[in-house]
Amino acid sequence: MNFLAIIPLAGTLSFGTEEIALRTGETLGGLLNASFGNAVELIVSIIALVKHEIVVVQTSLIGSILSNLLLVMGMAFFLGGINRFEQYFNTTVAQTASSLLAVSVLSLIIPSAFHWAGSSTGQDEKKLKEGIVGLSRGTAVILLLVYAVYLFFQLKSHAELFNIQSQKAPKRSELGRSAMQHLLQQSANTGAGTIGQSAVPGQAYPRTTVGSGSGSGPSGEAKETIVDEEDEEEEGPQPELLLVTAVILLAGSTALVAICAEFLVDSLDYLVEHSPISKYFVGLILLPIVGNAAEHATSVTVAYKDKMDLAIGVAVGSSMQIALLVIPFIVVLGWIMGIDEMTLYFDGFQVVLLLVSVLLVNYLIQDGKSNFLEGTLLIATYVIIAVAAWYFPGAATERTQ
C-alpha cells in the first residue's frame, strides 16, 4: 500500500513544482522538476541508510538513473515522436549533462577497479576496504563540488546556452497538408509541365524553424500552424496556485512521502520472505519506477507538446542530479553516521548497466534529434535490464539473507 501511495504523492510533488516552474522559466523549471522529483529517492535512501539497508540504497539510486535515462526519456521520445517525424532539442544542454554523467560513471568504475586490482595482487582485505572507504568519501566530496560548479555554469556564467530555443517540429498531418499545398501552389503558378520537376522523388521537403526565411521555410500554412502552437504555449498554461500555496503543497507532500517511505522500507523484509521478489529487483526496478513517477509524467507530457528541452532537462537532468548530488550526499551522510559500508563500490553488474546506458544515451542525443524508434530502443533496453535484474544470481543471495 505504501508502494502505491507514493505514486500519487509523487504526482502532487510534480504539480506543485510545475506551479513554481511556471513563474521561473523553462530552464530553472526543469531544474526544479528534477530536484523535487528526486526528493522521493533521497528520502527513501536516507531511511534505508539509517536502517543499514545498503543493498536497497545502492540499487535504488542506480535504478533511478537507469529509469530516467531509459524508461522516462524513452517514453518521451516515443510518445513525442508518434505525431511528429522528428523532434529537436538543445544539444548543449543534453550533451553537457551526459558528459557529467560519464564523470559520475567513472567515479563508480574506479572503486570497482581498485578492489579488483587489490584482490588480484593479494592485498589485505581489511586494508583494501579501508582504502575503498577513503577513496569513496574523497570522490563524493569532489562530485559535490563538480555539481556546484555545474549549477554556476548553468544558472550564471553560461545561462544563455541553456536558454536557446530549439527548433519546433510540425505534426505529421500538418506537414502533409503543407506539402500538398506547396505542390498545388506550384502547379497553379508554373503549370502542369513543371510539376514533375518540383516533385522529383528524393527531393526532401525543407526542414524549417520558426521565423526562417522563405527560401528555407515551410509553406504559409505550416508556418502559421507552428507559430500558432508557440503562441498558445507562451500564453498558457497559467499558474493555478499562489506561490506560497505551492510551496506549502510541496512541503506537505514531502512529509507524507517520508512517512510512506519509512513503512515501505520496513516492509521489504516481509515482501522478500513471502514472495519471489528480491531486494535487488525492488531496489533496481520497482522503487525507481515509483520514485520517478513525477519525472515520467512531466517529461512525457511536455514531449508530447514538443517541449523537448524541458523533457530532456527533466529526464537527463534528474539522472545527473542523482549521480552528482544524491549518491555523493548519501556517501557523506554515511560517513557522518559512521556507516563504512556506504561507499561508491557498487556491484559490478550495476556499474556495467549504468555504463552501457550512458553510452547509449550519449550516442542517441548527439545529433540533437529524436524520434519514436529511438524511444523504442531506450524502452527495450530498460525492459532487458529489468529481466536481467529478476534473474541476476545476486538477487537470490539477497533473498536468503
Encode pLDDT of 201-230 as tens digits: 444 444 434 333 334 344 444 444 444 454
Q: Are 107 and 343 in contact (CB under 8 A)?
A: no
Out of 3.40.800.10, 1.20.1420.30, 1.10.1370.10, 1.10.287.110, the CATH code matching 2-168+233-400 is: 1.20.1420.30
Question: What gap in Å lies between CA 206 and CA 183, rounded to an integer?
Answer: 13
pLDDT exceeds 70 at position 180: no
The per-residue pLDDT for 361 is 92
Euclidean distance between CA atoms 8 and 6, whole angstroms: 6
Question: Could you tell me if 268 and 53 are in contact, meaning their C-beta atoms sit under 8 angstroms apart?
Answer: yes
pLDDT at 1: 66
Please answer whether residues 38 and 61 qualify as being in contact, where contact means their C-beta atoms are separated by less than 8 angstroms. Answer: no
Report which of 290, 282, 307 is spatially closest to residue 2, judged by C-alpha positions.
290
pLDDT: which is higher, 11 or 325: 325
Identify the H or E element spanning 88: strand 87-88
CB 365, CB 86: distance < 8 Å: no
Average pLDDT over residues 185-209: 48
Look at phi and psi of residue 90 and say left if phi exceeds 0, alpha if psi is from -120 to 50, else beta: beta
Between residues 307 and 236, the one the model is more confident about: 307
Q: Report yes or no: 324 and 143 within 8 Å, Cβ to Cβ.
A: yes
Q: Which residue has the cell 554556476?
A: 152
pLDDT digits (tens, 9 = 90+) for 375-399: 999 999 999 999 999 988 765 444 4
pLDDT higher than 80, residue 147 = yes
DSSP letters for 170-199: -BHHHHHHHHHHHHHHHHHHH-GGGHHHHT
When comparing pLDDT for 98 and 228, which is higher?
A: 98
Domain locations in the chain as residue ranges: 2-168+233-400
Summarised one tens digit per residue, pLDDT across range 34-83 is 567 688 888 889 999 999 999 999 999 999 999 999 999 999 999 988 88
- C-alpha–C-alpha distance, residues 274 and 10, integer Å: 27
